[in-house]
Chain A
């Protein structure tokens, strides 16, 4: 009995210690950095709110953040919609094919993000598949360079890279709806469109919203896609943070910018958490 209690205690302490060392302390250290300053390329360890004042007052940061949020929202909506369409299609297949398709959807998640971005460059570039195709069907004579190095390319790359999250989470939600529930709705006279809007969508939404959360949080902080396919317009908030750390060597300002992003992401995660656990899923009374 005592030995058992002892081993449980050791497990608990080590898990908390690991979380503390690997997650909480780095984040705390990072937050503290946001209150430091920089002079002549070296960090000044004196606490001040200067960085936060700069982030809040400089319109450039606000503009870039707004643009980045808009892209993230657009990407999330696109992923949500295409994710639903694909997941509904996959869920309708017979079991063997269904799980093969879901596995195929999951494969890109195991690949490097950089490879996916470069494959997108190959697709959209001057000699890429899209231009070749448009020339082949005779819509254009010369390859166009408008597909790459702009924000649309960033959006497409992000959707391409993140849509598996939407498909997988939506699929999980759809698969959990019992046939009997759909049959009950049909039995009461409902057609396919009504069944989708009143039964399938609300029942799978708590699961699908987790996918939206993934796509939003991952795209709002992304700096690789804008860097590699975004061109001159592709200055996003992620790139801004990256440049503070990698180019300007202004770590304190970078930390302050990151904190804003972190608070935003946590807010989105909290909202998604609420939406993914609606009242009807809970057991306690109204």
Chain B
């Protein structure tokens, strides 16, 4: 059953924090809502969960319009930011809460709950209280508490933001496996683009309450449709292009009408030797080593900075040395109608 958001809008006072949200979240998808803080991603999740009522539009699940359903009646469950575990209940009671609400008792309840706790690997902490658990363990309880209720859709509100890098990596893999095994719909809110790109089937990028682009991670990276997306996802170089396809570095192969923006990823820029039609002389001003790759910053005579990424230690160019940079047509992406920036 697909989850459809139709012209959804939400305002606080006179400010629209969500505007014209039209989304179809396919059944069984790992769907991410990605945006900076204040982009409306959490408000959107709360509207889906039923914590916030939208001021406009409809939410449809399958055939049912659930816009006016209270949150306790929606077939979704939420993993809250900061976990929101019940601090006075043990791991067992936290996980059992949803089933007890549904009227399950005795052996059946005990079996489902212990199985679920075993599944998230917390069998030895079953009688501990949340205050005695580590961040990763609390996270697992929050997920188990939701999974045991067998919801159709799981909503996750920045579930990994409080964890350190190593633990976050483990939890990402855990979530991905869980998603694959269960075949449930995951709606995942995050501000971390790497996380969104590596986990999701589809990503919706939000900016100031509006949808910028909804696409696969691959398409968002290689074919951004707005300059916001081009700059938000990964590192990028953006050049202005006029009606004739002229840029400050020469004329591009594919002219488009109107004023457009040409983008090229740092890893696609050629250094030193190039046959590209778009090229420029530039001086190396900064070199940052990231282990598996090196990020080089060049500056052209006009003062424009160009980012270049090279595998390993990068090219043997000294800081302050001048070289030629090439921008091959086939690696450039045109964002039509982006206008002068």
Contacts and interface: CB of A to CB of B under 8 A. Distances in A.
A155 to B, nearest CB: 32
A5 to B, nearest CB: 36
B318 to A, nearest CB: 51
A286 B127 contact: yes
A174 to B, nearest CB: 14
A285 interface: yes
B42 to A, nearest CB: 12
A282 interface: yes
Nearest to A190: B101
A229 B71 CA distance: 52
Interface footprint category on B: 20 to 34
Interface string B97-140: 11001100000000000000000000000011111100000000
B303 to A, nearest CB: 48
B87 A186 contact: no
Interface stretch (B10-18, B77-85, B184-192): B77-85
B98 A281 contact: no
Interface in A193-209: 194, 198-199, 202-203
Contacts of A286: 127-129, 132
A137 B101 CA distance: 47
B88 interface: yes
Interface string B238-252: 000000000000000
Contacts of A191: 72
Contacts of A12: none
Contacts of A203: 87-88
Contacts of B130: 280
B102 A189 contact: yes
A184 B132 contact: no
Interface of B: 49, 51, 70-73, 76-78, 80-82, 84-89, 97-98, 101-102, 127-132, 145-146, 149
Interface of A: 178, 180-181, 183-191, 194, 198-199, 202-203, 278-286
Given A184-B78, A188-B72, 5 more contacts: A183-B51, A186-B70, A190-B101, A279-B129, A286-B129
21 contacts: A180-B82, A181-B86, A183-B49, A183-B71, A184-B78, A184-B80, A184-B86, A186-B70, A187-B51, A187-B80, A188-B72, A188-B101, A188-B145, A188-B146, A189-B98, A203-B88, A278-B88, A280-B88, A281-B131, A282-B131, A286-B128
